[in-house]
Amino acid sequence: MIAEAALEALTSLLGDRLSRSKTDLEAHGRSESHFPLTPPDAVAYPASTDEVAGIVRICVDHGCPMIGWGAGTSLEGHGLAVQGGLVVDFTRMDAVLEVRAEDRVARVQPGITRERLNEELRATGLFFPVDPGANATLGGMAMTRASGTTAVRYGTMRDNVAALEVVTADGRVIRTGGTTAKSASGYDLTGLMVGSEGTLGLVTELTLWLQGQPAAIAAATCAFPGFNQAVDAVVETIQTGIPMARIEILDAASVAAVNGYSDADFPLMPHLFVEFHGTEAAVAAETEQFHEIARDHGCTGFEGATRPEDRTRLWRMRHHAYWAILASRPGSRAIVSDVCVPISMLSQAVEQTQADIAQAGLQAPILGHVGDGNFHAILLLDGSEAERRAAEEVSAAMIDRALAMGGTATGEHGVGLGKLKHMAAEHGAAWQIMGAIKRALDPQNLMNPGKLVPQGS
Amino acid sequence: MIAEAALEALTSLLGDRLSRSKTDLEAHGRSESHFPLTPPDAVAYPASTDEVAGIVRICVDHGCPMIGWGAGTSLEGHGLAVQGGLVVDFTRMDAVLEVRAEDRVARVQPGITRERLNEELRATGLFFPVDPGANATLGGMAMTRASGTTAVRYGTMRDNVAALEVVTADGRVIRTGGTTAKSASGYDLTGLMVGSEGTLGLVTELTLWLQGQPAAIAAATCAFPGFNQAVDAVVETIQTGIPMARIEILDAASVAAVNGYSDADFPLMPHLFVEFHGTEAAVAAETEQFHEIARDHGCTGFEGATRPEDRTRLWRMRHHAYWAILASRPGSRAIVSDVCVPISMLSQAVEQTQADIAQAGLQAPILGHVGDGNFHAILLLDGSEAERRAAEEVSAAMIDRALAMGGTATGEHGVGLGKLKHMAAEHGAAWQIMGAIKRALDPQNLMNPGKLVPQGS
């Protein structure tokens, strides 16, 4: 619950940008995956850093939880107000504040989406490379340490956020990081904030590293007789030092769903979708080298996509794969697993997962960012309790196996609500250190409480 | 001072690997730059993680400061026991514990030096790319977030440490990070520890990302009429997207010192030293493209170095440049500045620094990692108080100017003792957040006290 006095103070600060309408509360209580509706007590729409700082001071005075909100595309319920309180929706803070082309940086507000950022950058010859598929906001992407299809080449949000402005839990506005290529000056607070899921503060501004738009881009798709052969082709490509900009794997079930949803006709076999960025000559050579390696591993139906419209269609299909898989079983929701393993363990991890899925009698297409060892089983749920339990067991087994292989419970979706129960197993005593940092920076536990760190300590 | 009871407990743990000999204390009280001799009260030489944990528990019980020590190559006095206490020398923990070629990771103890690590890796076809020049230990390099000549291509220690084992200030052994290409699971404690200068714990093991040895390497040197032209050539090379593996700049005074020390005969003009890594065809093309750009900016005397022995000689000259510059004025010591600015500001920052040096009547050759915007003025000191004061003023002005340009007081040497006084100006309120993290993780302030965070708070 949120105190009346807090609501009054917030209304006096924000006017009608403090909302308690049922529609608004429900819109900010919804998740894109399987979590139940969890409406907050109120939603704030700040328009400036000063307003965010004001919101934080009011909430601290009244012990009111604060949860940041971007595009609401989290798959792990990051934005759900599980202890009630105020959702701070950043969609009105969505400006590009500055682009410095020579230093390849852009300063943006957290509510801008990655698609709009890249539209605004188009004329500069630069782009922001992190691409989680969903049209998320940059603030949300930073807070969950998002990555996606291009991480194999350009890294994750950890690598692409240069600096942050953050309102900390005491209402102070701090700046972390900078726009130099490197610095050895003190603790890496930017790195600490990226992936902290709003538990240490509210981000009000991001400075991002940009990339030059490649002179040439070539994509291709190819089919393999088995998942393992596709993975082996990728491992060999990496070892050969061929720089892939994207390398995605889809199992036969994912391909079937994509065919149905996107009116495509890929053969029903495991596929790789690959992309190269560089000079005309380099991407041509890399495509050919990759084709040779893929052929050695039994690939068939190698099909290039160099025209922009063909590439756009290809990656749109990949980005819509989650929705395609949901649509393949009308009315279903899903538990989306997100383990990531050392690449040497990837084939084994997927094979054992597929066996678990078959044994449990579940429908769960698998696809992933194979170059990073990160894959998702989309565990479809029909709504029955039995199926949910079976899916949760498969998901937990995937995670236990990934951890035993030196992997992680979440490659890119974050902890949120779904992975909290695996944190102790993954991090051991280091999880307590995370808790100590949280208590030091947010002693009242008001910043997205109930997430990421040990609870009730 | 260290309590007698603590010394007894440490001796009972370590036997003769707890030393109080004058020679040992002085060897661990010395700095490679201008800081006065600061011997600790004792030196410990642990041989295992368990022993380090034992040391920490004893020190915590007796309120004794602990300072990690690697190769003693810090330029900012990181290892000096300014509040007395125990130096923990890691040179007996110098093993390569595991190399997993398929995942491109090596697990090592902190006391191994980067040169020996790369010798041990040679047969695997892999190497560890971070190269600060000095033959530092990997533990020391991680703690100072070291970088050096190759950061423009391979990043700093921030990018190349995958995981750590750390003994925290409560004597617990934690593991941070992992060997997956990415993870969204919790706070990035590895990133927090890297660059923390031993103020949050003692690192007992590192897992490092390795790189494939390039099929071909080509280096080159070239002279420019002025510093600006050289910088402009580098900026254009970066913007063209030509991937340089190293790109170093030396002013005419640095070149003169190198000539004298290394028996070379470079013309007395600003120089770039550059290196390309890749396939035979790619490095040949990149060298030619770079040469064209350099020519457009007035470069003369472009000289390739593709034979391994020529490249080795070239980079040895570069790595010895600090000693060459010291030797150019026999008996001198130096204040080594280390600012880093956004690359768009580099020419201006160097020009104004050169003007300051001339006006102060100092000898201070300038060289740097130009691709990162990071440069060093080696401010030579003859021992007079007046010259020291003048050098400190020039150094402080460089830092103020760098901060005004959006830069940092230290690109790669770290804070140590030399940069502590600039932290408030650089980080503002964020420095207080660093202090809060320090207090949370080391409440007794025993881990390298007197460094990095706000003091006396």
pLDDT score for A239: 84
- Report the range of poorest mean pLDDT among A95-99, A383-387, B76-80: A383-387
User: Is there a contact between B102 and A409 if contact means CB atoms under 8 Å apart?
Assistant: no
- Every domain of chain A with CATH number 3.30.70.2740 lies at 329-445
Phi, psi of B456 (to 5 degrees): 70, 20
Find tokens 């989306």 and name the residue. Answer: A336
Rounded-to-integer distance, Cα B120 and Cα B98, Å: 11
Which residues, other chains included, contact B276 with Cβ-Cβ below 8 Å and sequence gap of 6+?
A: B217, B218, B219, B242, B243, B244, B245, B282, B283, B286, B287, B290
Collapsing DSSP to helix, strand or coil, B93 comes out as: coil
Rounded-to-integer distance, Cα B163 and Cα B157, Å: 11
- Confidence tier at A1 by pLDDT (50, 70, 90): confident
Best mutation target among B159, B187, B210, B422 (most A Cβ atoms within 10 Å) is B187
The total of other beta-carbon atoms located within 10 Å of residue A293's CB is 18
CATH code, B329-440: 3.30.70.2740
| Cα of A8 to nearest chain B Cα, Å | 29
CATH architecture of A4-89: 2-Layer Sandwich (3.30)
User: Is there a contact between A408 and B178 if contact means CB atoms under 8 Å apart?
Assistant: yes
Calculate the average pLDDT of chain B.
96
In total, chain B counts a number of residues equal to 457
pLDDT score for A29: 97
Phi, psi of A323 (to 5 degrees): -70, -35
- Every domain of chain B with CATH number 3.30.70.2190 lies at 216-317
Q: For domain A329-445, give its CATH number from 1.10.238.10, 3.30.70.2740, 3.40.640.10, 3.40.1710.10.
A: 3.30.70.2740
Q: For domain B96-212, give its CATH number from 3.50.50.60, 1.20.1050.10, 3.40.50.11780, 3.30.465.10.
A: 3.30.465.10
Average pLDDT over residues A169-194: 97
Nearest beta carbon to residue A178 from set B168, B174, B406? B406
Q: How far lies A264's CA from each of A247, A260, A279, A317, B324, in Å?
A: 19, 7, 30, 9, 66
Q: Calculate the CA B80 to chain-centre distance.
A: 16
pLDDT score for A306: 83
Q: Which residues from B are below 8 Å from A344, CB to CB?
A: 100, 102-103
pLDDT (tens digit, 9 = 90+) per residue, A254-301?
999 999 999 999 999 999 999 999 888 889 999 999 999 999 999 999
Structure tokens at B135: 């033959």
**Which CATH class for the B216-317 domain?**
alpha beta
- Every domain of chain A with CATH number 3.30.465.10 lies at 96-212
- Of A329, A321, A319, the closest CA to residue A380 belongs to A329
Nearest beta carbon to residue A434 from set B144, B186, B423? B186
Nearest beta carbon to residue A182 from set B212, B372, B432? B372
| Cα of B437 to nearest chain A Cα, Å | 6
Beta strands B216-223; B271-278: pairing state: antiparallel
Q: Give percent of chain A with pLDDT exceeding 70.
A: 100
Is the pLDDT at A187 greater than 90? The verdict is yes
Phi, psi of A178 (to 5 degrees): -175, -170
Torsion sign across C-alpha atoms B188, A404, A233, A148? negative
Report angle CA B422, B428, B434 to the nearest 5 degrees: 85
- Bridge partner list, A374: A340, A369
User: Is there a contact between A433 and B441 if contact means CB atoms under 8 Å apart?
Assistant: yes
Q: Which residues from B are below 8 Å from A430, CB to CB?
A: 174-176, 189
| Cα of B102 to nearest chain A Cα, Å | 6
DSSP letter string, B303-367: EEE-SHHHHHHHHHHHHTHHHHHHHTSTT-EEEE-B-B--GGGHHHHHHHHHHHHHHHT----EE
Rounded-to-integer distance, Cα B3 and Cα A240, Å: 57
Average pLDDT over residues A13-20: 98
Letter string b/e over residues B188-197, b meaning 16 or more CB atoms within 10 A of that residue's CB: bbbbbbbbbb
User: Is there a contact between A239 and B437 if contact means CB atoms under 8 Å apart?
Assistant: no
SS3 assignment for B5-25: HHHHHHHHHHHHHEECCHHHH
pLDDT (tens digit, 9 = 90+) per residue, A362-415?
999 999 999 999 999 999 998 899 999 999 999 999 999 999 999 999 999 999
Report angle CA B440, B441, B445 to the nearest 5 degrees: 90
The complex scores an ipTM of 0.96
User: Is there a contact between A144 and B172 if contact means CB atoms under 8 Å apart?
Assistant: no
- Every domain of chain A with CATH number 3.30.43.10 lies at 4-89
User: Is there a contact between B175 and A341 if contact means CB atoms under 8 Å apart?
Assistant: no
pLDDT (tens digit, 9 = 90+) per residue, B154-167?
999 999 999 999 99
Is the pLDDT at A33 greater than 60? The verdict is yes
* Cβ–Cβ under 8 Å, residues B209 and B105: yes
Is the pLDDT at A456 greater than 80? The verdict is no
pLDDT (tens digit, 9 = 90+) per residue, B309-352?
999 999 999 999 999 999 999 999 999 999 999 999 999 999 99
pLDDT score for B32: 84
* Cβ–Cβ under 8 Å, residues B157 and B145: yes
The domain made up of A216-323 is a member of CATH 3.40.630.30: no
- Of B270, B214, B224, the closest CA to residue B246 belongs to B214
Structure tokens at B197: 């200068």
- Every domain of chain B with CATH number 3.30.70.2740 lies at 329-440
pLDDT score for B216: 93
User: Is there a contact between B344 and A371 if contact means CB atoms under 8 Å apart?
Assistant: no
Find tokens 């030619």 and name the residue. Answer: B288
pLDDT score for A340: 98
pLDDT (tens digit, 9 = 90+) per residue, B353-407?
999 999 999 999 999 999 999 999 999 998 899 999 999 999 999 999 999 999 9
- Every domain of chain A with CATH number 3.30.70.2190 lies at 216-323
Rounded-to-integer distance, Cα A56 and Cα B94, Å: 48
| Cα of B50 to nearest chain A Cα, Å | 16
CA atoms in the 13 A half-sphere facing the CB of A391: 24
| Cα of A411 to nearest chain B Cα, Å | 4
Average pLDDT over residues A73-89: 97
Nearest beta carbon to residue B374 from set A182, A188, A239? A182
- Confidence tier at A167 by pLDDT (50, 70, 90): very high
